[in-house]
Structure 1
């Protein structure tokens, strides 16, 4: 089996220490987490972890099974890139004078469908949402002009298929 990119979605109670135990599952198997995002989910009082890894389907099934053994975990799923809709977000902080002195920067912003978040006397901030490759392309184009600060979020995603976690929770309440 060959390595592929998988997005793991974990629905859980919001308890201290769970992230540490989940990351330990990957550590034991020497699998690097490429991206991690934790937020509230569509269900009240339930958190959602989005974890991106590159591994085989055999290993990702094993990992999801181990994650589901954690007491606080309600349900875990894994999907391929083709089965999800996903984005990342990035912020670029650049010297303000370049916005007016370098026309190419304005072209980069326009062509990449980025937005200017704020402009001050000393700097301006550009926001770019999209696939990692799109963000990397904007980064490469802006780098020669000098990026003062750069940050990229972890992947956020939704599955194309319905995930039956809400139904599962309703059944547990009965």
Structure 2
């Protein structure tokens, strides 16, 4: 049965690694619904957060293939309850229809904030889960939606402390080796 999963992949910073990872999903005919990547708290280690709709068995095989890539430290499949996550949405709304209702109330009730105001439009920011962001979009449509965009998932794994300690130890060992070579 297909359901939504979050996959985290910890990598070195290498050109082409995004392509090498996504090709593995493509070969197994798994569509990536969200992809976010950024450096972790450990210099040189990057974290990919990938969301997909798939079956667990397929994803376990994909993670195994990803981990065989040289630049990969580790990759994991997570159920929804294993991660704390948020997504970010920006809404560009026309200023022409502000008289149609109380947009301030919509913003407050959705825990959003105004980022910028221009004579033609203003931009609202909201963080939350996908359905919350889509609900806000529906609330804003009567005010003259101009543009909507959403980030991929940003996630922290609830049990990842041991693994992060391991990565920090690796980074320290690399730094110590570099110092001993250059002394």
TM superposition score normalised by structure 1: 0.92
* Superposition deviation, residue 171 in structure 1: 5.2
> Separation in 2 of the partners of 1:11 and 1:54?
21
Aligned-residue RMSD, C-alpha: 1.6
2:120 to 97, 107, 122: 122
Aligned residues: 172
List per-residue Cα deviations over 1:21-59 (Å, max 9, x = no partner): 111001001000010001111211111100001111111
> Separation in 1 of the partners of 2:71 and 2:162?
18
Partner of 1:132: 130
Q: Is the 8 A contact 1:25 1:66 kept in 2?
A: yes
Partner of 1:90: 89
List per-residue Cα deviations over 1:36-85 (Å, max 9, x = no partner): 00111121111110000111111111111111111111111111111111
* Superposition deviation, residue 102 in structure 1: 3.1
Which runs of 5 or more structure 2 residues have no equivalent in the other structure? 175-183
Larger deviation, residues 61-70 vs 155-164: 155-164
* Superposition deviation, residue 96 in structure 1: 2.2
> Separation in 1 of the partners of 2:95 and 2:142?
15
Partner of 1:39: 38
> Separation in 1 of the partners of 2:149 and 2:164?
33
* Superposition deviation, residue 103 in structure 1: 3.0
> Separation in 1 of the partners of 2:110 and 2:80?
22
2:141 to 130, 140, 143: 143
> Separation in 2 of the partners of 1:55 and 1:120?
42
CA separation of 1:149 and 1:167: change in aligned 2, threshold 3 A: same
* Superposition deviation, residue 113 in structure 1: 1.0
CA separation of 1:15 and 1:171: change in aligned 2, threshold 3 A: closer
Q: Is the 8 A contact 1:98 1:105 kept in 2?
A: no
Q: Is the 8 A contact 2:97 2:144 kept in 1?
A: no
* Superposition deviation, residue 143 in structure 1: 1.7
